[in-house]
Amino acid sequence: MKTLPDLQQIEILILIVKHGSFRQAAKALNLSPPALTVAINHLEEKLGVRLLNRSTRSFVINRSG
């Protein structure tokens, strides 16, 4: 049985999508962009799906996200 995602991780995902960038979401949360990357990686691991298709400069929310 998979564990439920942390609410903070869900909030981070929502803010990344809302702001359109990891950097702006990190600024809104007073966190570093790498901290958001770690949180999203953990969320994806917990859910067993990839939520965002990422490159070094951008992301696209995919069907699972």
Tell me the per-residue pLDDT of 10-63, one tens digit each, with 9 for 90 and over.
999 999 999 988 899 999 999 999 999 999 999 999 999 998 887 666 676 667
Residue 51 Cα distances to 25, 30, 40, angstroms: 16, 22, 8
Do 13 and 42 contact (CB within 8 A), yes or no? no
Q: What is the pLDDT of residue 3?
A: 74
Q: What is the pLDDT of residue 30?
A: 96
List, in order of start, the domains of the chain with CATH numbers. 7-60 (1.10.10.10)
Could you tell me which of 28, 3, 2 has the C-alpha nearest to residue 11? 28
Q: What distance in Å separates the CA atoms of residue 63 and residue 1, rounded to the nearest whole number?
A: 23
Q: What is the pLDDT of residue 10?
A: 93
